[in-house]
Structure 1
Amino acid sequence: MEQRVLGRTGRKVSVIGLGTWQLGAGWGDVEREDAVKVLDAAAESGVTFFDTADVYGDGRSEQIIGEWLADHPDAGITVATKMGRRLPQVPENYTLANFREWTDRSRRNLGKDTLDLVQLHCPPTPVYSTDEVFDGLDQLVEDGAIRNYGVSVETAEEALTAIARPNLASVQIIFNPFRLKPLEEVFPAAQEAGVGIIVRVPLASGLLSGKFSRSTQFAENDHRNYNRDGSAFDVGETFSGVDYEKGLDAVAEFQKLVPEGLTTAQAALAWIVSQSGVTTVIPGARNADQARANAAAAQGVGKLGSEFDDGVRRIYDEFFREAVHPRW
């Protein structure tokens, strides 16, 4: 699989990575044995980048990855985790003391003396403009607790503020055919600054798998059930913030663009990878087959042309621009 340098980390990672929120919580239950099979399948398919967070299953995702890494010490996996959501979301909680506590916990969970990449986990907007926060992150690097740091953001404006920080390695942002705003300023600014772009929610929480319908039911502990109104966290994390019914209509149009030999999900992932500035995309997988199918999307980039790209933009303008573009 193609490898790209992840911003200022200097490390090469696969263009298709693996998001592991679902291995901890938030997407219904995934048994530990199945979670390990997902990691196995991803690595066997050429994936070299795992993304997790300290709050995914209260550390369960990190722990499963840590156990897997111990069993596969030569797998060449870069692991990115996140911190900041273990306490109420107020800027005052983003302190060096808390950073040390959170990273120490993640180091134990992952079995690593030094974490590859730690990202602030969608903190309150003022955090991005607080010098002391980034001084604290620089101190963690100096201490040897982390090698590099980045941010995970909700909005394009937050991303641009963070990219201006001189030691920022990466930005993680929502981007997919239903969320195009990062193309305008974020990706060009990141490229110019040498900052990596990690794309999350690439399939709009599964909408772009093409497998959902108006009768689809989600588990009670699946965020696609309990967070449609944004009551648990930013609604943009669930179905990319788009109306579910409208999303289904848009998927039907999107499927008309998909070339032979690719699934709906693979076409979406391949299109994301083809965008200038994107380093890696991190779809989740609940089973090994999904992990393998996602990884195979990397081979689909050459099957997409300008007509596909034009179609994506037409669908966005018709179905989502008015509601989505100004908000995120």
Structure 2
Amino acid sequence: MQTRELGRNGRKIGAVALGTMNFVGTYGDADRRESLRCMAECLEMGVDHFDTSDVYGMGRAEQLLSEFLRDHRDRVVLASKCGITRNPERPFDNSPEYIRRSLEGSLKRLGVDHIDLYYLHRHEPGRPIEDVMDTLMRLRDEGKIGAIGLSEIAPSTLQRALAVGPVAAVQSEYSLWSRQPELGLVQACGRGGVALMAFSPVGRGVFASQLPEPTAFGPGDLRQGMPRFDPVNWSRNLPYLQAFNAYARDLGHSPATLAIAWLLSRGPQVLALPGSRSIAHMRENALGATISLSAQQLAQIEAILPVGWAHGPRYGEAMSKGPEAYC
């Protein structure tokens, strides 16, 4: 597993990380024992950065992760997030009181006294990012968190945050399925010495060896509300994905391996953050950090999946509230 810096002069971690949202049924039922086995296998493969949030399963992901951390805390670079309330009247809260209360709750559920990387999960509209940075930096100075992260922000917000203090990482959806970060965020992270943690690097399963069947999505599957999976858009997206799968097979790779190798080619500041409870899938994901693609191969991928190829927006109306728009 190749390693990359978690921010300028930050800790070196595996270029592929592990997201834990899938462990609490976001894409269907999850098995606790299978999830814990997946964590152990990931650690042995060099996937040593585990990412969670206080809203994944309303804290259940953190509680599950705490079971693994009891015996492996010294080997795991731990990240969690705050700022989403699940309150429809006030879905995002970045106040100092809420952030501190959220952090204390996460520390308790995780069974730790320190979180290595703590993210603002969503930036509350109308609250200056400078004020939020002040809050996070106070928590860092108290020793309760290590590095500071931001999620789903615009490049301009990152620029303002960096004027206040160091930001180690920014999370954003980024893959061959969703390339908006190329319109400024990838570049801003490179300039600022900030790691870009690309979540959903296999496109919420579209680059799996077996293509998803949207009509079979179970109750609670997050993808049911995503326009790219509705019948009309999916029928248009499917031929592109089939062509990419065929090219991956020609190269001797799984589609997920090739998709992550492509992502990691975007720059040394880019890291992949897939979420999976499947050991087999995580092996494919981790393999993406072991291969380098030639200029010819990258050009062929671009020809198969040109920028903007995906039909439909990545989020529906409800989920689009929170991520900052730009460009």
Common fold by TM > 0.5: yes
Structural mapping, 1:1-328, within 5 Å: 1-8=1-8, 10-74=10-74, 76-88=75-87, 90=90, 93-127=93-127, 129-153=128-152, 158=157, 162=161, 165-212=164-211, 217-225=216-224, 227-229=225-227, 243-258=233-248, 259-300=250-291, 302=292, 304-314=293-303, 315-317=305-307, 319-320=309-310
Counterpart Cα distance in 1 of 2:115 and 2:214: 42
Answer yes or no: is the 8 Å Cα contact 2:95–2:132 preserved in 1.
yes
Q: Is the 8 A contact 1:8 1:168 kept in 2?
A: no
Specify whether residues 130 and 91 from structure 1 end up closer, same or farther in structure 2 by C-alpha distance, changes over 3 A only.
farther
Stretches of structure 1 that go unaligned for 5 or more consecutive residues are 230-237
Name the amino acid aligned to 1:41. E
Cα distance, 1:292 vs. partner?
Answer: 2.1
Q: Deviations over 1:285-313 (max 9, x none)?
A: 1222222222122122x2x2223322333
Q: Conserved in 2, the CA contact under 8 Å of 1:35 and 1:286?
A: yes
Amino acid at match of 1:283: P
2:320 is aligned to none
Alpha-carbon distance in 2 for matches of 1:131, 1:160 = 10
1:268-326 deviations in Å (ceiling 9; x for gaps): 011111211434211111222222222122122x2x222332233332346239967x9
Q: Distance in 1 between matches of 2:100 and 2:261?
A: 38
Paired residues of 1:9 and 1:148 also in contact (CA < 8 A) = no
The alpha-carbon deviation at position 267 of structure 1 amounts to 0.3
Distance 1:162 1:101 in 2: 22
TM-score by length of 2: 0.86
Structure 2, unaligned runs of 5 or more: 315-324
Task: Report the number of matched residues.
Answer: 312
Instruction: Describe the shift of the 1:209–1:162 C-alpha distance in structure 2 as closer, same or farther (beyond 3 A).
Output: farther
Work out whether residues 168 and 195 of structure 1, in 8 Å CA contact, stay in contact via their aligned partners in 2: yes
Deviation at 1:57, TM superposition (A): 1.0
Number of the residue aligned with 2:319: none
Question: For residues 140-181 of structure 1, what are the alpha-carbon distances to aligned partners after superposition, in whole Å with 9 as ceiling and x for unaligned?
Answer: 111222111111106556555555553222101111112223
CA 1:47–1:92 in structure 2 vs 1: closer, same or farther (change >3 Å)? Answer: closer
Deviation larger for 263-272 or 213-222: 213-222
Letter in 1 for 2:218: A
2:154–2:185 contact (8 Å) kept in structure 1? no
Structure 1 CA distance, aligned partners of 2:172 and 2:222?
18
Change (3 A) 1:320 1:31: closer
1:104-126: per-residue Cα shift (whole Å, max 9, x none)?
Answer: 01111112111111111123444
Q: Deviations over 1:210-267 (max 9, x none)?
A: 4225565111111112x225xxxxxxxx87xx94333322212222432522101110
Query: Letter of the aligned partner of 2:276 in structure 1?
Result: A
One-letter code aligned to 2:298: D
List, as ranges, runs of 4+ consecutive aligned residues in structure 1 with deviation greater than 6 Å: 321-324
| Distance in 2 between residues matched to 1:244 and 1:163, nearest whole Å | 39
Tell whether the 8 Å contact from 1:7 to 1:170 is kept in structure 2 after alignment: yes
CA distance in 2 between counterparts of 1:91 and 1:287 reads 31
Cα RMSD for the two superposed structures: 2.7
Cα distance in 1 for residues equivalent to 2:60 and 2:125 = 27
CA distance in structure 2 between the aligned counterparts of 1:24 and 1:322, rounded to whole angstroms: 27
